[in-house]
A and B are shown apart, each in its own frame.
Chain A
Amino acid sequence: MIQNYFKIAWRNLIKNKGYSAINIGGLAVGMAVVLLISLWIYDEVSYNKNHENYDTIALALMHKTENGKTRTRRPMPYPLGNELRAKYSDDFKHVVMSSFYWDYVLSKDNNNLSKYGGFMESDALRMLSLNMIYGDWDGLKKPNSIVISQSTARTFFGSENPVGKHMKIDDKLNTTVTGVFEDLPYNSEFHELEFIAPWELYTISYPWVKEARDKNLWDNNSYKLYVQIADGKTMASVSETIKTVVQDNVPGNNKRSLRELVLYPMKDWHLQSEWKNGVNTGGFIQYVWIFGFIGVFVLGLACINFMNLSTAQSEKRAKEVGVLKSIGSTKKQLIHQFLSESFLVVVFAFIIAVLLVLLVMPAFNALADKHIIFPFNNIFFYLVSVGCIVATSFMAGSYPALYLSSFHPVKVLKGTFKVGKSTTSFRRALVIAQFTISVTLVIGAIVIEKQITYSKNRPIGYQSEGLITISKNTEAYKGKYNTLRNELIKTGTVVEMCEASSPLTDVWSTGGGFNWEGKDPNFVTNMGLFCISHDYGKTIGWDILEGRDFSRAFPTDSTAFVLNETAVNYMGLTDPVGKTIRWGKKKYKVIGVVKDILRESPFEPTKQGVYMINYDNTNFVRLKLNPEKPISEALTTIETVFAKHVPNVPFEFQFVDETFAKKFNTMERIQKLSNLFAFFAIFISCLGLFGLASFMAEQRKKEIGVRKVVGASVFNLWKLLSKDFVKLVVLAIVIATPLAYYGVNSWLNNYTYRTQISWWIFVVAGMGAIGITLLTVSFHSIKAAIANPIKSLRTE
């Protein structure tokens, strides 16, 4: 019996090739999109899950409230780790202080490579449950040890066991390798880590860290703190317990800012990374929800189209039903027959979908910046797939099955059978729903595009062409400034050189304690601090709005400030140049005001900042290349100069404009994904429309014939048939407009620097939808309109 069902089903598919192709193809595309979205979502929610203690690990954050505004930051004071260990030992299993990670130079003999890593307390390995290939989780117990990643071990030692070998960090810290950990997967927060060195080594090697320990500096926030809470404790309760620890310990004169500790659980790190006024406002999770919704919607669409096309075929199938019923088939058997057919179609579609996904996986990974592998060896995947196939077969097949099997045999055989009207209004509602979502997605995609363009056109405040940055990560640079600068300029490849404490694309250091005439005594200051050399302005080409740049001609410039525009507004200065600002115990004179430099998020306002001359506190060398020299040649020349004066340091540099462009990475990725999904939503909606158009044209065949006989032209008829669909789509646009407005408006509200939601976006999306509708339905309406009416009006 079952065999017979499949036989008839198979022959039916073969007989109506065009129809089967649209049906299977449409369903396959829909399923492929759903598969991709599911894999993407699965990947997004699996971040950090490779860590055994995923549920109990947290990072400490600090809500700092000043002047009524709360900012949430990572840096913690040095003594916090010891304090928590001493007084709250019941609440924590592990307390791990850590440096911020950065590129250091690791050397073995004369092999020097820049590697990314940091210094952590010894419990780190156990807490993160790293897979140790050599050594064990106690590897960081001795102060002069180092634990390296497998790939780092391979680059330095080949296949040799490196344990016991000597390595140097930044050419000055001597260490012995005590362990090798397996590289972390790319969806771990720590996956870029190439080495971990002991916290103790950090403390004794860097004077400013040592000072923080020795003087118990509670108000210097420069470190990270990871914890694993004790078994049986909850994240919320522990977080509440330690809330005031920092505030209780900071010295009195700093108490005007309110510091509140909060534990930020590992499970939220990847998807819920945004904080506003001390409250977690989500983050990437919003895109997971949006794309998840699109996925469900696309599958729904594909199923609806399947139902639509199947019922549209019903007049053709009606005769078969009549014959089967008149020779004794029961309704139940017919339902089985039609469900087998839909099952067959769904299985085909699924196979094609899997093939499609395999085909586009590399492209999709590139687009989404992922390393998703098709889960062929995951039993769970097969269970879900089989479940989905069965569910989809029922969802897509039940309506046609019930509908077709209920035909009355006498009526259908006599030929007086007509498909009912109720199914038409159901279909209309579906088309409206499809287009409402499609138009909303298109509007969303346009707004994302507009926001990116808008932010990219934002003035950055300097000339980024030919600017390169070299990290000064070893002592070897000490005292070489003038030599390097003179020699580089002499080669003609470099126009100017400077040094600075922050990258041009970030603010590395902020500080308070500023005072000036007319300042409200309750106002707690916080500004970006930029230590620079005299040639900074000339190198980056900043815009001086008032006053002058720093100059060697004025020795007093060692106690001078250059402010950015925002700082002038922030401090409320009316005639800033010449004013005196007290900072700590020193007095500084404002000598100039520069245009804001866009350093942080291109979607947020620039932070108020002060520039000062300080050669001892710089982390970067920055060069302006001579635009008339070929870049590769210039770089070779520069490298030889560096090799001469700063030996044993790998020459590594970054173009400032490339680093800047990375600020748009996430948004551009979201843009690409939403474009892709919007495209498929439209494509599938069009398939649905195409099916509906064929159905309507079939249904109105007689009417079209009559109208043609009484004088309607092809154009009249095209207009008549298309009008109905345009009406539906216009209705969809009307519904989509406020929906999309609400959506994009709340999305844009995430950003302070945001584009306008212009009226033309809605017009473009609407016109686009109408245009696509006309194109889609025209095939059927023109076909119906040019058909000879004597065929449709023949009286049998």
Chain B
Amino acid sequence: MILQLKDLFKWVNSGGNRVFLLNDIDLTVNEGEFISIMGPSGSGKTTLLNVIGMLDDFNEGEYIFLEEPVHNLKEKHRANLYKEYIGFVFQSYHLIDELTVYENIETPLLYKKHSRAERKAMVADMLDRFNIVGKKDLFPSQLSGGQQQLVGIARALVSSPKLILADEPTGNLNSAQGEEIMQLFKKLNDEGVTIIQVTHSESNAAYGSRTIHLRDGLIVNK
């Protein structure tokens, strides 16, 4: 088991009413799973992903990540935890425009204790793995969408996380590029990385081992 959410609630108060963003979520994710979260706009998919990624907090319930109770952890400890074990992939890639492909991939390593030589080796390994060695000195604006997302995934993977969180990773791509990215996720999953993705597309969801449907913050089936 990599993580477990128990009776988790998240709400906002709007005009005297309590609006639930996440409503009594119970979810257990085992190591090696590839989970797809689906649901209509505003159903809480991204919120759930952010809570799992520890970017967002919640109001009630428990969250256990690798046997650590996230809800009781201090900010700093929590930051260390996700820095170590979680990688993010975004719909609009969110690469840093001012940095080259190489530097973008290197960024997460800067915030951990790696020597320059170690970083070089790790980045080189990633470039190699995704066949983008030739593009390492280009800037994001010089790449196609699919290539940018490749870099985004390489960046998420460079520090060898246990869990990848992907928020509509193919949302900005055409179908061929999307296909390619999903194949890559499949391959990574086969290599043992746990993946949770948010998606609108049934075909993308089909790559996963399990699909969770959300509506108005509630898990409607399991």
Chain A residues in contact with chain B, CB under 8 A? 702-703, 705-707, 709-713, 716, 788-790, 793, 795
- Whether B155 sits at the interface, judged by CB under 8 Å, is yes
When distances are taken between beta carbons in the complex, the residues of chain A under 8 Å from B112 are 711
Q: Please tell me if the beta carbons of A795 and B91 are within 8 angstroms of each other in the complex.
A: yes
Tell whether A710 pairs with B55 under 8 Å between CB atoms, given A703-B98, A790-B50, A795-B92.
no
Other-chain contact of B107, A707, A788, A790 (Cβ < 8 Å)? A707
* A790 and B55 contact, CB distance less than 8 A: yes
Q: Which of B76, B90, B96, B168 contacts A703 (CB 8 A)?
A: B96
* Cβ-defined contact, B50 with A710, below 8 A: no
- Range for the number of chain B residues in contact with chain A: 20 to 34
B108 x A705 contact (CB < 8 A):
no
Nearest CB of chain B from residue A418's CB, rounded to whole Å: 9
Could you list 8 further interchain pairs (A-B, Cβ under 8 angstroms) beyond the known A706-B107, A713-B111?
A706-B96, A707-B111, A709-B55, A709-B94, A710-B111, A711-B108, A793-B94, A795-B92
Chain A, Cβ-Cβ closest to B156 = A710
User: How far, in Å, is A710 (CB) from chain B's closest CB?
Assistant: 4
Instruction: Report B49-89 residues with CB < 8 Å from chain A CB.
Output: 50, 53, 55-56, 76, 79, 82-83, 88
The interface residues of chain B lying within 8 Å CB-to-CB of A789 are: 55
Q: A790 CA to B95 CA in the complex, in Å?
A: 15
Bound Cα distance A711, B114 (Å): 13
Residues of A within 8 A of B159 (CB): 711
Shortest Cβ distance from A796 into B: residue: B92
0/1 interface trace, chain B 103-137, chain A, CB 8 Å (1 if under) = 00001101110000000000000000000000000
Report yes or no: A711 in contact with B94, Cβ–Cβ below 8 A: no
The residue that A707 contacts in the complex, of B90, B92, B96, with Cβ under 8 A, is B96
User: 13 A-B Cβ contacts within 8 A?
Assistant: A706-B94, A706-B96, A706-B107, A707-B107, A709-B53, A709-B94, A710-B107, A711-B112, A788-B56, A793-B94, A795-B91, A795-B167, A795-B171
The 6 A-B residue pairs whose C-beta atoms are closest, nearest first, are A711-B83, A711-B111, A710-B108, A706-B94, A703-B96, A795-B92
Which residues of the partner chain A approach B90 to less than 8 Å between Cβ atoms? Answer: 793, 795
Instruction: Return B17 CB to nearest CB of chain A, in Å.
Output: 23
Of chain A, the residue at the smallest CB distance from B91 is A795
Chain A's closest residue to B84 (CB) is A711
Chain B residues lying within 8 Å of A703, measured Cβ to Cβ, are: 96-98
Residue of A706, A712, A713 with most partner-chain B CB within 10 A:
A706
Specify which chain A residues have a CB less than 8 angstroms from the CB of B167 in the assembled complex: 795
A712 touches B111 (CB 8 A): yes
Interface centre among A705, A709, A795 (most CB of B within 10 A): A709
Alpha-carbon distance between A713 and B79 when the two chains are bound, in angstroms: 8
Residues of B within 8 A of A705 (CB): 94
Residues on the B chain within 8 Å of A712, using CB: 110-111
- Cβ–Cβ < 8 Å partners of A713 in chain B: 76, 79, 111
Q: Tell me, in angstroms, the Cα distance from A321 to B88 when the chains sit together.
A: 36
Q: How far is the CA of A248 from the CA of B56 in the complex (A)?
A: 98
Chain A residues near B56 (CB-CB < 8 A) = 788, 790
Q: Indicate which residue in B55, B79, B92, B108 contacts A788 across the interface (CB closer than 8 Å).
A: B55
Taking the closest CB of chain A, its distance from the CB of B141, in whole angstroms, is 12
Q: Which residue of B lies closest to A793 (CB)?
A: B94
By a CB distance below 8 angstroms, the chain B residues around A790 are 50, 55-56
Nearest-neighbour CB distance to chain B for A670, whole angstroms, equals 47
Separation of A788 and B76 alpha carbons in the complex (Å): 15
Do the beta carbons of A710 and B91 come within 8 Å of each other?
A: no
A795 contacts across to B, CB distance below 8 A? 90-92, 167-168, 171
Q: Hey, which chain A residues are within 8 Å of B98, CB to CB?
A: 703
Are A716 and B111 in contact, with the CB atoms below 8 A?
Answer: yes
A710 x B155 contact (CB < 8 A): yes
How near does chain A come to B118, taking the closest CB pair, in angstroms?
16
In the bound complex, how far is the Cα of B82 from the Cα of A712, in angstroms? Answer: 11
Measured CA separation A705–B97 after assembly (Å): 13
Closest to B105 in A: A710
With the chains together, A705 CA to B92 CA distance in Å? Answer: 13
Of B83, B91, B95, B168, the residue contacting A706 (CB under 8 A) is B95
Closest residue to B47 on the A side, CB-wise? A790
Contact between A711 and B155, CB atoms less than 8 A apart: no
Closest to A709 in B: B88
